[in-house]
Amino acid sequence: MLTDTQISQFTNAGYLLLPDMVSDEERKALIERAYDIIEEDHLEQAGLFSTTDRSQIDNSYFLGSAETIRCFFEEKAFGDNGELLQPRSQSINKIGHALHDLDPVFRQFAQRRDFGTIAKDLGLSHPSLYQTMVIFKQPRIGGEVTWHQDATFFFTDPTSVITYWFALEDATLENGCLWLEPGGHHGPLRERYFCEQGELRMEPLSDLPWTRDSGNPIPVKAGSLLVFHGHLPHYSAPNQSNKSRIALTFHVVDAACHYAPENWLQRPNLGEFAM
């Protein structure tokens, strides 16, 4: 499916932009379903999610989301007395992490054969979908996602994770589009996220600083797909606009590579979701 030019763009720059990959009908169905899940979820049990302060994350709620579907609140969703400052549909940071296994609408979308073909064209012999997230980047309170590489969280030997980032709505500079560092995937993995005996910790692997100045914003139209390498540094700014920036992400690893038992996300009961 991918052309030689597209494959070399991925090899050289670490990412590839594929416009018009999600139809309006699919986007509408996925967004509607995501909002329905928010209403179904028992939000009093929902945890908080923050990349700027991971100490705030409730470990057991987070770890328990690996094989189910859970909602996470935005850090800035609450007032001083713990009350929501906006409707709950506009208070959720993300939904994760097994939508592709357990939700019929997301499952049907994830089973599109062309998604597996893309992964194979990019060198994964047995592409396996490990994680899905709907990331809302809510108006005004949608938080920053600090510079990171996704292989930090999906450590395989050798590195294999590829991220699929679907824009379900337009992503702009104002509402917090992705920033990528072209070619940055040629560098080392800087950090690794460990889960051992239920304890989560980030361990530095390299002194190489995040090269913020060489990052480029990548505004994309709704329906676009960005695929990027597990070592590619990426970031997104807080949403300062009045529009959400809903994205759907897949994290795809090669089942032929060794998947680290210390990764936080394990799927002993769900197994491989072959693409």
Residue ranges that bind Fe ion, judged by CB under 5 A: 150
CB of residue 45 to Fe ion, shortest distance in Å:
25
CB of residue 190 to Fe ion, shortest distance in Å:
13
Q: Phi and psi of 131, rounded to 5°?
A: -150, 140
CB of residue 232 to Fe ion, shortest distance in Å:
9
Identity of the amino acid at 58: D
Nearer to Fe ion among residue 26 and residue 150 (C-beta): 150
Nearer to Fe ion among residue 138 and residue 163 (C-beta): 163
Nearer to Fe ion among residue 101 and residue 150 (C-beta): 150
Least Cα distance to 32 among 141, 163, 169 occurs for 169
Nearer to Fe ion among residue 85 and residue 200 (C-beta): 200
CB of residue 179 to Fe ion, shortest distance in Å:
11
* 114, containing H or E segment: helix 113-121
Token duo for residue 74: 């935005």
Identity of the amino acid at 87: P
User: Of all residues in this chain, which one has the CB nearest to Fe ion in the complex?
Assistant: 150
CB of residue 150 to Fe ion, shortest distance in Å:
4
Cα separation, 178 vs 176, whole angstroms:
7
Least Cα distance to 131 among 67, 224, 51 occurs for 67
Would you mind telling me the total number of residues written for the chain in this entry?
275
Cα separation, 99 vs 107, whole angstroms:
7
Nearer to Fe ion among residue 226 and residue 257 (C-beta): 226
